[in-house]
Amino acid sequence: MAVIVDYDAGNLRSVQRACTEVGLAATISDDPEAIRHADRIIFPGVGAAGSAMKSIRKSGVDVALQHAFRSGVPILGICLGLQISLEFSEEDGQTTLGFLPGKVCRFQLRNRDLKIPHMGWNEVEVQRRHPLLEGIHNGDEFYFVHSFFPEPEIPTTIFASTQYGREFCCAAGLDNFFGTQFHPEKSGRVGLGLLDRFRNWDGQIAE
């Protein structure tokens, strides 16, 4: 069974409905035991890094996620779920889970016409092949809502990028963890396609 990690971080049912649409049965849970026994995990989220970390530490979800990551269970992080999978976030100066070496930075854009949050549809450029990105063409657009962006330390963990005043990483992964800054559940057919590939992903990044 797939588990959508609940840590009071927003609209989880939209993620669940999109999973249903692609035939991935997923329950929403904040129970560390359920997460420990999940055969795949979706780690979504909107909101602030500080309160998210506080919530998952309190419930023990952080330890369950660490366990799942080390056990090779496929994990998909979405938006804040990707951000707090890095080591550190400039938002609230927060130490985060650290599946992926690197940090999360705040947009600091000189062009005042570029609004924060970065909200809406933007193009994704695939930098490196990944099973979850198969079938996505450069220029395909996904839906974003965020004020911070991931900055992975290891170049080979960056799989796709987007331009907004600067280039930033919008998809990153290491081993059985993969995360997107955009929202596949709100990105129409291309987003559902990514979720569909996650449904069958074995957690390996084949070359």
Partner 1 sequence: MLSKRVIACLDVRDGKLAKSIRFVDTKDIGDPIVKAREYYLDGLDELVFYDITASSEARNIMLNVVESVAEQVFIPFSVGGGIRSVRDATDLRMAGAEKINVNSAAVLRPELISECAAAIGSQNVVLSMDIRRVGKTAGVPSGYEIVINGGRRPMGMDALAWAQQGEMLGAGELVVNSIDADGTRDGYEIALTRSVAESVRIPVIASGGAGTPGHLHDVLTTGKADAALIASMVHYGEYTVSEVKTSLHELGVKVRMSW
- What does the alpha-carbon distance between residue 152 and residue 130 come to, in Å, rounded to a whole number? 16
Q: How many CA atoms lie within 13 A of 25 on its CB side?
A: 3
- What does the alpha-carbon distance between residue 24 and residue 4 come to, in Å, rounded to a whole number? 11
Whether 79 is a known active-site residue: answer yes
Residues 119-158 interacting with partner 1 (rule: CB under 8 A): 119-123, 137, 139-141, 143, 145
Whether 141 is a known active-site residue: answer no
- What does the alpha-carbon distance between residue 94 and residue 53 come to, in Å, rounded to a whole number? 8
Q: Does 105 bind partner 1 (CB under 8 A)?
A: no
Q: Does 37 bind partner 1 (CB under 8 A)?
A: no
| Closest CB to partner 1 among residues 73, 196 | 196
| Closest CB to partner 1 among residues 20, 71 | 20
- What does the alpha-carbon distance between residue 206 and residue 81 come to, in Å, rounded to a whole number? 23
Whether 105 is a known active-site residue: answer no
Q: Which one is catalytic: 79, 130, 146, 170? A: 79
Q: Does 63 bind partner 1 (CB under 8 A)?
A: no
Q: Does 91 bind partner 1 (CB under 8 A)?
A: no
Q: Which residues pair with 125 in a beta bridge?
A: 161
Helix (H, G, I), strand (E, B) or coil at 142: strand
Q: Does 202 bind partner 1 (CB under 8 A)?
A: no
Residues 5-24 interacting with partner 1 (rule: CB under 8 A): 10-11, 13-14, 17-18, 20-21
Q: Does 97 bind partner 1 (CB under 8 A)?
A: no
Residues 156-195 interacting with partner 1 (rule: CB under 8 A): 163-164, 185-192
- Structure-block tokens of residue 173: 């992964």
Q: Does 46 bind partner 1 (CB under 8 A)?
A: yes
Bridging pattern class, strands 26-29 and 2-5 = parallel
- E strand intervals along 9-134: 26-29, 40-43, 75-78, 88-89, 94-95, 102-106, 118-123, 125-126
| Closest CB to partner 1 among residues 109, 154 | 109
Smallest gap from residue 126 Cβ to partner 1 (A): 14
Check the CA dihedral 171-85-20-131 and report its sign.
Answer: positive
Angle made by CA atoms 158, 143, 75, in degrees to the nearest 5: 50
Residue type, position 150, single letter: P
Catalytic residue numbers read: 79, 183, 185
Binding site for partner 1 (CB under 8 A): 10-11, 13-14, 17-18, 20-21, 46-47, 112, 114-123, 137, 139-141, 143, 145, 163-164, 185-192
